[in-house]
């Protein structure tokens, strides 16, 4: 087990190396630099700026310098947010995004699995129809529609919740409710459908027939024999779900003005703030890779057939 973990961690290094290298060169060769959209600068000023950011050096040297900096945890200065380094920007925004994302994922898993199981156990009854219609709504309605509509209803019309802002502001924890529910909704929907399907599949399996033939109560059959196997697909979906939540948080943070990575990510893309984009890519890939790693381990715990080799 320990060996497996060490090997998995080591295998992350080349993956990260490739991601960083690829994005470095992709971005350097992209047309239109970070300063191209500003007013035409005098030649001398431009030279100074390029010099300041070491962009006048040969590409190889820039690359080595960047790699060295990254190892030191320095992601360079932001081209746009003057006087702030990318590391600082990410450090300020990351905790907010992680908080929002984890709450959303937690809500999605909790309600998704619950609703999915109920749906499966009440297959083709009204509970099932209700739950699955709600799930189709969740899958069909884009985040940037749900978000504003929730704002319109709960903040502007009913005045129950703050329109936007963050927990550090006046609204406190209330400010988290709408963004977290909005972000979790599509993944709730997907997880509900997924767990319904997999519970139904397990319910039809031979070993459930055995458990029933042994005289076990239906509640014991479900709790002890069905759930573990049925949750495996949900666990493997957590990786993609997290990737999705990261993507979704870009919209949700924009709509609800949450000071998170997603928001500065969009801005960095709109502004072509290349060092910031790179920093975001690196951080996002790290999170994703770490998440998939956790999912693998949880999966292994649930499924005894998986041997860590």
Looking at residues 84 to 143 of the shown chain, list those that interact with another protein (rule: CB under 8 A): 123-124, 136-137, 139-143
**CA pair distance 98, 260, nearest whole angstrom:** 8
Task: List binders of another protein among 27-46 (CB under 8 A).
Answer: 27, 30-32, 37
216: DSSP letter: -
**Window 166 to 195, contacts with another protein (CB under 8 A):** 190, 193-194
Minimum distance of another protein from residue 92's CB (angstroms): 20
Closer Cβ to another protein, 62 or 148, answer by number: 148
Phi then psi for 77, rounded to 5 degrees? -80, 150
Among 26, 223, 286, 294, binds another protein (CB under 8 A): 26
Burial label, 240 (beta-carbon count in 10 A; 0-12, 13-18, 19+) = middle
Cα 51 to its chain centre, rounded Å, is 36
- Distance between CA 33 and CA 239 in Å, rounded? 34
- Window 67 to 86, contacts with another protein (CB under 8 A): none
CB nearer to another protein: give 180 or 189: 189
Residues 116 and 191: their CA atoms lie apart, in Å, by 7
Nearer residue to another protein within complex by CB, 72 or 305: 305
Quick note: the x/- pattern for another protein over 251-270, rule CB under 8 A, is x--xx---------xx-xxx
Distance of alpha carbon 21 from alpha carbon 12, whole angstroms: 14
Which residues in the 194-223 window bind another protein by CB under 8 A? 194, 196-198, 200-201, 205-207, 209-217, 220
Q: Shortest gap between Cβ of 204 and another protein (angstroms)?
A: 8
Say whether residue 152 binds another protein (CB under 8 A). yes
- What is the closest distance, in whole angstroms, from the C-beta atom of residue 44 to another protein in the complex? 25
Q: For 80, how many CA atoms within 13 A lie in the half-sphere containing its CB?
A: 20
Query: Judging by beta carbons within 10 Å of its beta carbon (0-12, 13-18, 19+), is residue 31 exposed, middle or buried?
Result: exposed
Secondary structure (DSSP) of 150-179: HIIIIIIIS--S-SS--TTSTTTTHHHHHH
Find the binder of another protein among 104, 131, 150, 246 (CB under 8 A): 246
Binder among 65, 91, 170, 224 for another protein (CB under 8 A) = 224
Q: Which is closer to another protein, CB of 103 or CB of 139?
A: 139
Our CB check for another protein shows the closer of 68 and 145 to be 145
């Amino acid at each position: 087990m320990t060996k497996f973990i060490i090997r998995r961690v080591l295998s992350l290094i080349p993956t990260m190396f490739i991601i960083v290298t690829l994005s470095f060169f992709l971005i350097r060769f992209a047309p239109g630099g970070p300063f191209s959209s500003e007013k035409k600068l005098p030649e001398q000023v431009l030279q100074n700026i390029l010099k300041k950011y070491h962009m006048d050096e040969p590409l190889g040297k820039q690359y080595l310098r960047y790699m060295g900096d990254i190892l030191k945890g320095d992601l360079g200065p932001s081209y746009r947010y003057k006087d702030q380094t990318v590391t600082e920007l990410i450090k300020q925004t990351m905790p907010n995004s992680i908080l929002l994302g984890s709450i959303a994922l937690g809500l999605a898993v909790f309600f998704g699995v619950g609703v999915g199981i109920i749906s499966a156990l009440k297959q083709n009854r009204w509970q099932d129809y209700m739950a699955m219609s709600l799930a189709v709504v969740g899958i069909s309605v884009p985040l940037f529609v749900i978000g504003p509509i929730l704002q319109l209803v709960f903040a502007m019309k009913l005045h129950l919740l703050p329109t936007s802002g963050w927990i550090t502001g006046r609204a406190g924890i209330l400010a988290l409710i709408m963004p977290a529910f909005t972000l979790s909704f599509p993944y709730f929907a997907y997880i509900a459908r997924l767990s319904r399907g997999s519970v139904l599949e397990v319910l039809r399996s031979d070993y459930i027939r055995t458990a029933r033939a042994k005289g076990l109560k239906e509640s014991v059959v479900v709790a002890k024999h069905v759930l573990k196997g049925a949750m495996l697909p949900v666990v493997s979906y957590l990786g993609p779900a997290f990737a999705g939540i990261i993507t979704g948080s870009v919209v949700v943070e924009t709509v609800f003005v949450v000071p998170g990575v997603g928001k500065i990510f969009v801005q960095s893309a709109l502004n072509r703030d290349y060092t910031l984009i790179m920093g975001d890519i690196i951080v996002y890939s790290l999170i994703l890779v770490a998440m998939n790693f956790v999912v693998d381990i949880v999966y292994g715990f649930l499924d005894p057939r998986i041997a860590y080799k």
